[in-house]
Chain A
C-alpha cells in the first residue's frame, strides 16, 4: 500500500492493495447513451455528406440534400435535447415544437416557397401542442397550473402567424386555418385563466413578477 501524496510505501498497512477504505470503488465506465449519441451524429454526418455529393452529381434545380440535412439535424436534436439531458415534460414538448417549426419553414423554402408552412403546417403544429398541454393539464393534476406557460406561448405564436397571414395576400383557406387555430388556443387559454382561479393567478404572478 502506498501514500496517495508522495507514493511512498506505507509501513504497517493491512493490505497490499492501494485503495480507499472510506470511499466506494467507482471505476470510470463509458456512459452508453453518450456513445450511442456520438455514433448517431457520426452516421448523420456521413449520410449528409453522401446526399450532398449525390445532389451535386444529379442536380436538377432542387437542393433536396439540404432538406435531408435539416431532417437529420432535427433527429439529432431530438436525441440529444430530449433523451440525453433530462428536462421537464413541458420543455421537451416546446423544444420539439420549435425544432419542428424550423424544419417545416426550411422545407417550404427549399421546395419553392408556397407558404403552406405558415398557412397550414405551423398552425396545426401549434394547435397540436396546445391541445397536448391541455390534456396533460387535466391528467397531471399536481402542477397542472404550470402548463399555462405553454398555452400562452402557443397563443402568442398563433397570433403572430395570424398577423403575418392577415397582412399579406393569402388564400381564404389560409386565413380560416389560422383563425381557427388562434381561436382555439385563445379559448383554451381564457378558459384556464377564468376557471383556474387562485392557482392560476398565483402561477402567473410568480412567473411574471418583476
Chain B
C-alpha cells in the first residue's frame, strides 16, 4: 500500500511593529538587508557550514519562514523548502534578497576564507536576534570541524541562546501616545554614487581598552564618543566647518531588551537621534560637539522616553480603523511616512555591544563584525561590534568619496586609539 504524503498545517506568525515597514520599502536599490559575520581562526569548509546551518535552522522558527501578503497585513508562514545553496561569497554585501530566487527564505549564509556571513532581511529580526542564530551556526560548525570537542560539549543549542518569539512591542507598549518621529530635514551626505549595488566597506579594528580610555577622557560612554567623533568628521570634512541651516542628525538604534526584560528573537529596538546644529560662524571644537551630542543622547535614552517612542507606532497598529485599511493603501501611507522621516537623519550608528561566546568555542573565534545596507537619504553608515578585547567599527557607503571615514579615523588616532584598517577593495577601483 502506498503511503500518502501528509500535508500539515503550516505555522504562521504576525510581523512585529518594526517589521511591517520593511517589506513595503525594500527593493533592489534599498535592500534593508544587514550582514553580521564571524571571523574564525581557520579557513571555512563549505560542506560543514551547510551541515551546521541545516542542523540549527529547525530550532529557529523566525528564520525558517517566508513572507506572505494578506489583504490587510503581511505575515510570516513556515517554510519547508530546502535551504538555498551555501556558497563562497561572490557578490557585494547586503544585496536585496528576492525570496522567490532564494527558496522563499529571507536570509542567506555565505563564507569567504575564514569568515562566515549571515545576511538577514530586517523584517525577520534585528542584530541581536540574528546574532543568536549566527552564534549557534558557528558553534555547530566548530563542533563539526572539530569532532573531538564532542567529549566536552553536547550537540545541542547553548544554554544562553534564546528561542523566544514574543512580540515585545505589543507586550510593553502604552496606548495613546503622540507622534514621536522627526521630520525636520537633516544634512544629507551626497557625492558621486558608486554603481548600483556596489558597496564600499571599511573595517576599523581597535582595542576596546583604547577607545574606552578615549571616551573616558571626554567624560562619555563609548557609544557617545563614537557618535561625537562621527558628527565631528561630517562637520569637518563634509561641511568644512561651516554653519548649516540643517542639523547633522545621527540615528542611534537602541536595543530595548535590557529595559523591558525581554529575550525575544524578533525586532525589539527603537531609534533615537543625536542632533548637532552648527549655528555659529566660528568653528566648533570636538569638545563642544561632544557635549551637545552627549546631552542629546542622554535626554532620550531612558525607559520612559523609549517607551513613548515605540508606543505611538504600536497604538497605530492597534487602531481598528487603521487596521481595517487594505494593505495596498497602508503601503502607500507607510511609504509616505517613511520618506518624510527618512531625510530627518544624516546617518546611522548602530552598536551591537559586546558579544560573549562560551567555552570551548571562544578559542576558535577571532572576531565579529557587521555591515548595514543603505537607506533613503543615508549614503554612509556605521556598525560597531565588540568581541573579547577588540572592537570592529565598520563603515558602509555607496558614495565614492571617503573623506568622512578618513577624518573619523584620524580623530580616533589623535585620541590615542590604535586602528588597523581592512576594506573590500572598492576604494581601489
Residues of A within 8 A of B73 (CB): 209
As a 0/1 sequence over residues 9 to 50 of chain A, the CB contacts with chain B under 8 angstroms (1 = contact) are: 000000000111111111010000000000000000000000
Give the number of chain B interface residues (Cβ < 8 Å).
Answer: 43
Please tell me if the beta carbons of B91 and A26 are within 8 angstroms of each other in the complex. Answer: yes
> Is A102's CB within 8 Å of the partner chain B?
no
Distance in angstroms between the alpha carbons of A174 and B51 in the assembled complex = 60
Please tell me if the beta carbons of B72 and A209 are within 8 angstroms of each other in the complex. Answer: yes
For residue A87, which residue of chain B has the nearest CB? B100
Residues of B within 8 A of A4 (CB): 202, 402, 421, 423, 425, 427-428
Contact of A5 among B77, B115, B202, B425 (CB under 8 A): B202
Q: Say yes or no: A206-B324 contact (C-beta < 8 A), given A25-B425, A26-B92, A87-B100.
A: no
Shortest C-beta distance, A124 to chain B (Å), equals 27
> Is A55's CB within 8 Å of the partner chain B?
no
Please tell me if the beta carbons of B320 and A20 are within 8 angstroms of each other in the complex. Answer: no
Please tell me if the beta carbons of A5 and B424 are within 8 angstroms of each other in the complex. Answer: no
> Is B406's CB within 8 Å of the partner chain A?
yes
Residues of A within 8 A of B75 (CB): 206, 209
Contact of B72 among A141, A146, A208 (CB under 8 A): A208
> Is A194's CB within 8 Å of the partner chain B?
no
B residues 83-110 touching A (CB-CB < 8 Å): 88-92, 98, 100-101
A residues 149-170 touching B (CB-CB < 8 Å): none
> Is A210's CB within 8 Å of the partner chain B?
yes
Q: How many A-B pairs fall under 8 Å by CB? A: 86
Please tell me if the beta carbons of B71 and A20 are within 8 angstroms of each other in the complex. Answer: no
Residues of B within 8 A of A6 (CB): 406
Q: Say yes or no: A23-B12 contact (C-beta < 8 A), given A4-B423, A87-B100, A206-B70.
A: no
Please tell me if the beta carbons of A20 and B425 are within 8 angstroms of each other in the complex. Answer: yes
Please tell me if the beta carbons of A206 and B77 are within 8 angstroms of each other in the complex. Answer: yes
> Is B422's CB within 8 Å of the partner chain A?
yes
Give the number of chain A interface residues (Cβ < 8 Å).
Answer: 31
Shortest C-beta distance, A157 to chain B (Å), equals 16
Please tell me if the beta carbons of A24 and B421 are within 8 angstroms of each other in the complex. Answer: no
Shortest C-beta distance, A145 to chain B (Å), equals 9
Distance in angstroms between the alpha carbons of A146 and B79 in the assembled complex = 13
B residues 1-52 touching A (CB-CB < 8 Å): 5, 7, 9-10, 12
Q: Say yes or no: A207-B70 contact (C-beta < 8 A), given A4-B427, A5-B406.
A: yes
Please tell me if the beta carbons of A202 and B113 are within 8 angstroms of each other in the complex. Answer: no
Contact of A141 among B7, B70, B88, B323 (CB under 8 A): B7
Shortest C-beta distance, A5 to chain B (Å), equals 4
Residues of B within 8 A of A206 (CB): 12, 68, 70, 75, 77
As a 0/1 sequence over residues 200 to 217 of chain B, the CB contacts with chain A under 8 angstroms (1 = contact) are: 011100000000000000
> Is B386's CB within 8 Å of the partner chain A?
no
Shortest C-beta distance, B138 to chain A (Å), equals 18
Distance in angstroms between the alpha carbons of A2 and B113 in the assembled complex = 23
Please tell me if the beta carbons of A28 and B90 are within 8 angstroms of each other in the complex. Answer: no
Distance in angstroms between the alpha carbons of A24 and B88 in the assembled complex = 9
20 more CB-based (< 8 A) A-B contacts, given A5-B402, A206-B75: A3-B421, A4-B423, A4-B427, A19-B428, A20-B423, A20-B424, A23-B112, A26-B90, A26-B91, A85-B98, A87-B100, A141-B5, A142-B7, A198-B9, A199-B7, A206-B70, A207-B70, A209-B73, A209-B75, A210-B72
Task: Please list the residues of chain A having a beta carbon within 8 angstroms of any beta carbon in chain B.
Answer: 2-6, 18-26, 28, 85-88, 141-142, 144, 146, 198-199, 202, 206-210
Give 10 A-B contacts (CB < 8 Å), ordered by A residue. A5-B402, A5-B406, A22-B422, A86-B100, A141-B5, A141-B7, A146-B68, A207-B68, A209-B75, A210-B320
